Amino acid sequence: MSKTKTIVWPKLVLFGDSITQVSFQPNGWGSEMANKLARKCDVVNRGLSGYNSRWGKILLPRLFPNKPSENIVGVTVFFGANDCALEEMKAKQHVPLDEYSDNLKEIAQYLAAVGVSSDRVVFITPPPLHEATWEKECQLKGFPLNRHNAVAGRYAQACVEAAGQCGVRVLDLWTLMQKDGQDYTVYLSDGLHLSEKGNQFVSEHLWGLLEARLDSLPFILPYWGDVDTQDPESSLLSD
């Protein structure tokens, strides 16, 4: 067989904490992205449970090598739920608000430097926190409540402002999930992480930001009915 050219698949990279890591579960928002982009784009999960924006920023050169990344058609940056852990609780994951904002900006700047332009990046704010439910989870693990919804809101606002300064799009979950006084607890499984309905919410709103750019990507490799059965190589190995 003659030498053939390797197919370079476009990539959508999901970068964040546990809310991203578990997004490939059944009905998760990451798996929904993968389903929508099947045969068009690889959806790569780079969610890291428990991580914050400080650690994410440090990891960038290992996850996005310092070379042009034309095949990366999108990156979601979804940190904040751990950054906003209360400093007074001596939370290991806590990152001060100003540093969180700077980290997001530096992540966007690094991505731009390796060829991922700002129009391919989407920041996602932390979702709202339901304190009573999350407090029960904390107590089961032997420690007091370590997050407040109002604090999560300040980090969400910082994320929105950083996105504006970087020229990237933003999905403001904290605001949207509480819009018009709706019961946002339906979007949360334990007061912090997403329920099935919360995953659906993220999927629908994120796709609204990505669809215009990614839905038009062509199918990779020909439709089976278009394969030349007498000479399949001519269909499958041509550029």
Catalytic residues: 18, 190, 193
Beta-bridged to residue 106, according to DSSP, are: none
Contact (Cβ atoms closer than 8 angstroms) between residue 68 and residue 114: yes
> Residue 76 forms beta bridges with which residues?
14, 122
Nearest to 99 by CA among 155, 35, 145, 177: 155
Relative to beta strand 11-16, strand 42-47 is parallel
Write out the H or E segment, with its range, that includes residue 211. helix 196-214
Burial class for 70, CB neighbours closer than 10 Å (0-12, 13-18, 19+): exposed
- Distance between CA 161 and CA 123 in Å, rounded? 10
Q: Are 148 and 96 in contact (CB under 8 A)?
A: no
Determine the Cα–Cα distance for residues 130 and 108; give it in Å rounded to an integer.
30
DSSP string, 86-133: -GGGT-TT---HHHHHHHHHHHHHHHHHTT--GGGEEEEPPPP--HHH
